Amino acid sequence: MIPEKQTKDWKELARRAASEQDPKKLLAIIDELNSALEERESQLRGRIARPVTAARTIEKDGRRLLFVDDEPNIRLTLPPLLQQRGFQVESAASIAEALAAMKTCSFDVLLSDINVSEDGDGFTVVRAMREANPDCVTILLTGYPGFETALEAIHNEVDDYVVKPVDLDALVSTMERKLLARDSRRSNGAG
């Protein structure tokens, strides 16, 4: 069980961040909040870890999703929301974690930040996924949309490019549409 004090700490940090007016103090609070959330995420992962064999049985549903983002607060909030919408989500906090996950599981959807550790390294994940599973639906997230990254997304055959903050309904609708189109292509190709 997660100690009550740690649960209160990150919530208190979030409250302080919401009311802080000084940009330098706000950045310091956000750094502290990210550290607290990373620690909480590690504890939660330890509690709900499941064997790979159990995860592999869900692949048949066509809803296995790899979510890649280095921001712990997003990794804690978005995956449960996507799970509620029927996706089996595996999160990765780094490019290395994402590449390792691709080696052990087959994913139907890749949802990745464009800038995981460095500018544009989300494209590395897209290229690796295209190599591992060409049929995977790939969607990139960005908090900093720009013409250059949109153009690179086109060149990397990314299925969609979504600006943060994410409209969850629109994101899920897009993923479902892309999955249906993929399945339709498979059916037509097999028939």
Residue with tokens 């989500």: 89
- Quote the pLDDT of residue 185: 81
Do 97 and 141 lie in one domain? The reply is yes
CB atoms inside a 10 Å sphere around CB 140: 26
Do 83 and 151 lie in one domain? The reply is yes
Do 74 and 148 lie in one domain? The reply is yes
Do 37 and 127 lie in one domain? The reply is no
Residue 49 has pLDDT above 50, yes or no: no
Domain count, the chain: 2
pLDDT confidence band for 52 (50 / 70 / 90): very low
Do 126 and 62 lie in one domain? The reply is yes
Of 68, 75, 15, 81, the closest CA to residue 42 belongs to: 75
pLDDT confidence band for 151 (50 / 70 / 90): confident
Residue 173 has pLDDT above 50, yes or no: yes
Domain hosting 19: range is 4-48
Q: What is the pTM of this model?
A: 0.67
Higher pLDDT, 58 or 34: 34
**Which two structure tokens, joined as six digits, stand for 58?**
């869900």
Residue 97's SS3 state is helix
Do 103 and 116 lie in one domain? The reply is yes
- Quote the pLDDT of residue 190: 54
